[in-house]
Amino acid sequence: MWPLTSGSVVAINSLILIGAVVLLVGGVALITSGARLRRRAAARRVDQVQAASPGGKAVQLHRLAVAGRDVLVRVEGQNMPAQQQREAARRLVRLGVPARHVTVAYTLLRVLVALAFGGVALYLGGHVTTLAGSHALLLMVAGAFGVVGWYLPRFFLSRMVKGHAKAAAAGLPDALELLVVCVEAGLSLEDGIDRIIGELQHSQPALAEELALTSADLKILPSRDQALANLAARVDIPSVRSVVSTLSQTLRYGTPLAQAMRVVAADMRTEALINLEERANRLPAIMTVPMMLFIMPTIFLIVGGPAILTLLDIMRQRR
């Protein structure tokens, strides 16, 4: 062995000290980076469910896929149902409105529609003889039209909410059958929902969107029942409430999940078939009035038209 001098000992000790410092700094940086990533992931999950604004108002957060990207839409403090808030956010973001300006844009839209209705009423009322002479009556009519214009966007928004709920409920049997396959393959309920969201994005986008929110609820909320109840509240359809009730009871009492979902999917398809048969049975009664108004007069005209023309010719010849 080579004899160690005092200089060699100092160099070795310095290298050990430098290595220890490098390892310490790297470990601290690695721990800090992991903690930061965990905080960001937790914040994203919390943001996807619900948060509170600085003023204490409830803030509804909505995750929306636009052009392949997940957009977090924040809708604050409007005096309207949460479903209409989410629908307004969905529509405005698709039109290119930034997520942070959704509330202002929706309020501005209602104001513009109200002003447009009021202005049209003033313009048309000024050309009406009975209203042109009375400014007070003209202003009252314009105000009434302005109120109609103020509430008209909310009316259309409520119709859009119902259409979105029906579209989401229509794809639920397919989603349940896919979820049965995932559960039988060994996935949990949360992993199965995450797996089928990608499969439903193109065929059933409304349902995929609601399931994405439900997946976020399942990851962050302490109770699965509450996450499923949120789904039933967002999609207020009897079939969805029935599915949520069945899943909640299955998870609560430990019955086989795949079997329960298969039974529910079969029941929903049977119910859809019964609804189609009922609509088909109502069709003759519904078609009676259009037939009497449009089809029967045409048939009478075709059948009796030549006879009437012949009769008119005979009467002219006798004259």
pLDDT in tens, 233-269: 888 888 888 888 888 888 788 778 788 888 888 888 8
DSSP-assigned beta bridge partners for residue 76: 59
pLDDT at 65: 43
Q: What tokens does 72 get? A: 């977090």
Looking at per-residue pLDDT, the higher value among 48 and 57 belongs to 48
Residue 129 identity (one-letter amino acid) = T
Strand 50-52 versus strand 58-66 pairing type: antiparallel
| Sequence ranges of the domains in the chain | 58-169, 171-273
**CA 204, 71, 56, 225 torsion: positive or negative?**
positive
Which pTM was predicted? 0.61
Backbone angles phi, psi at 63, to 5 degrees: -95, 125
Cβ neighbours of residue 235 closer than 8 Å, sequence gap 6 or more? 165, 168, 169, 210
The two tokens of residue 56 are 């204490």
Closest by CA position to 168, among listed 200, 122, 192, 125: 200
Dihedral pair phi/psi, residue 75, rounded to 5°: -120, 120
Q: Is 141 left (phi over 0), alpha (psi -120 to 50) or beta?
A: alpha
Q: How does pLDDT run across 123-147, given as a tens digit for each residue?
A: 777 676 565 567 777 778 788 888 8
Residue 189 has what pLDDT? Answer: 81
| Cα distance between residue 17 and residue 25, in whole Å | 12
Q: What is the mean pLDDT of residues 31-43?
A: 71
Query: Which pLDDT score is estimated for 109?
Result: 86
**75 or 119: whose pLDDT is higher?**
119
Q: Given phi > 0 = left and psi -120 to 50 = alpha, else beta, which region is 196? A: alpha
Mean pLDDT of 288-311: 83
Question: Packing angle between helix 205-220 and helix 135-170, nearest 10 degrees?
Answer: 80
Closest CA to 168 of 229, 231, 215, 217: 231
